[in-house]
Amino acid sequence: MLSEKTIAIVKEITPLVAANAETVTRVFYQKMFAGNPEVKAFFNQAHQHSGGQQKALAGAICSYFTHIDNLAALTPAVELIAQKHCSLGIQPEQYPIVGKHLLAAIQEVMGEAATEEILAAVGEAYQLLADVCIEREQQIYAEQRAENGGWNGYRSFVVDRKEPESDVITSFYLKPADGADIPAWQPGQYITVRIDHPTTPTSPRNYSLSNQSGSDHFRISVKREPGLTADAPAGLISTYLHDEVQVGDTLEIGPPCGEFTLDTAQPVTTPVVLLAGGVGVTPLLSMAKSLIAAQPDVPLYFLQAARNSQTHAFAEEIQDLRSAGANVRTLTLYDQPLADDLENQNCDDQGVVTEKLLRDWTPFEQAAFYFCGPKPFMQNVYASLKSLNVPADRVHFEFFGPRQDIESARLDEEPEVSVSH
C-alpha cells in the first residue's frame, strides 16, 4: 500500500502531469531507446511514428494518477497490460528500466517543480504498479505452462495452409512443428508472431485467433495494412506475411493471450451482440463459433461492416452461423458497395452502424455488446451505445490504440466512418 503522503502528493501533481503527459511520454521513449536500445525490440516503431504509443502511455499514466487512492478501478487496465506484456515475454528485470527513464522524463519536463519529494512519491507509486503487474504476469506465465500443450516464450509452427479471405485479408493455418498438442484458448484471444525480418528488425505482432478452440491448429487472418500516415510505409509484417510467407514455412509463435474474451464455459444469460468492422471480425468470429458450439440457444446477433465485396471476408462462414445456432441473426453492411453488390445480394444493406440501427435491430436493453474494428467504426459504435444508455459492464471492445480515443467520441462529432481496416 502507498503511504498517505505519497497519495496526497500524486493527487496534487495530477493536473500538472495531465497537462504535460504526452510531452513526458515522448521524452520518456527518447530517453529509454537511447539509454537501453535493447528494449526497442518490444515496440512497434510504426506506432511510435504515428504518436499512438506515446498517447496511449500518457492516458495510462493519467488514469493511474487519477485513481491512485482507488486501485481497484485499475483492475481492467492492469489485466490488459499484463496480457500484452506476457504476449511479448516481458520479465520483472525490465521494469526498473522503465521506471528510471520515466522519472528522468518527468524531471526534465517539470523542471524545478519536480522536487525530490515529488520524484520519490512518483517512484513509490510506479513501483507499486510494477509489483501488481509483475505478480499478475507471473500468474499468467504459470497458467500458460500448466495448459495441456502450453508453453512460454516462442514455439515453432509450420504454415499448413494459406487462404485468401478477401482482396486484403489472408488466413494462415498454423500447426506446431513438433506435432505436439496446442493449448485451448478463450475466444477473442490473440497469438504473437515473431519474424526475423530480412531487412528491417521490428517488434513481434499480435494477431487475433479467428477460429474456435479444440482443433489441431491456430488460424490467424491478417489484413495487408497500408501506412498509418501518408508518409509512412505499408505494414512491414503484414506485407511480409502476405507476400513472402508460404505453405511449409516456419513461424515463431507465442501462446494465446488477451483479455477481450467471451467465456463460453460459463452460462451466458443475456443476448450477445457482436459488431465487426473490417478485420475486426477476427476475434468476433471466434466468439460466435465458440458460443454457438457451447450454448447454441443463446440469442446471438452478428453485424459485419465492410467497404464492399472486395474487402468482405468470411462471408460464407458468417452466413453459416445462422444454420448452426438456434437463435442467430446476421446483418452485413457495405459503406461503399460496388455497382452490383446490392443487386447480387452481397450485403444486406448500404450504410454504417448508427444509434437507430442498434436500437431497432438489437435487444440493446438486455444484450452484452462486443465490438472491434478501425478507430472511426469503434468511435461510432461506442458513442451510439452510450447514447442508448447501455451500461459499461455490458460494453466490451478491443482497440489497439489509446483507449481515450474511443471513450471520448460523441455522436455530435459525426465521425467519418470507414470500415476498411
Which residues does the annotation mark as catalytic?
Answer: 95, 137
153 annotated binding-site participant: no
401 annotated binding-site participant: yes
Q: Where do we find the cell 499478475?
A: 136
227 annotated binding-site participant: no
400 annotated binding-site participant: yes
278 annotated binding-site participant: yes
User: Which residues, in sequence order, are CB contacts of 73 under 8 Å at separation 6+?
Assistant: 67
Phi, psi (deg, nearest 5) at residue 232: -100, 150
- Biggest distance spanned by C-alpha atoms of the chain: 70
Would you say 323 and 344 are in contact if contact means Cβ atoms under 8 Å apart? no
280 annotated binding-site participant: yes
CA distance 71 to 165: 43
Residue 324 burial (CB < 10 Å; 0-12/13-18/19+)?
Answer: middle
Q: How far is CA 86 from CA 82, 144, 148, 153, 252, in A?
A: 6, 10, 18, 9, 15
β 368-372/272-277 pair status: parallel
206 annotated binding-site participant: yes
Q: How far is CA 24 from CA 34, 110, 285, 391, in A?
A: 15, 9, 39, 33
154 annotated binding-site participant: no
194 annotated binding-site participant: no
20 annotated binding-site participant: no
283 annotated binding-site participant: yes
190 annotated binding-site participant: yes
312 annotated binding-site participant: no
205 annotated binding-site participant: yes
In the structure grid, which three cell numbers stand for residue 237, read together? 509484417
Would you say 365 and 358 are in contact if contact means Cβ atoms under 8 Å apart? no
H or E stretch covering 24 = helix 21-35
Helices and strands counted in the chain (H then E): 13, 12
281 annotated binding-site participant: yes
Known binding residues for NADP(+) are 278-283
Known binding residues for heme b are 85
Known binding residues are 85, 190, 205-208, 278-283, 399-402
Known binding residues for FAD are 190, 205-208, 399-402
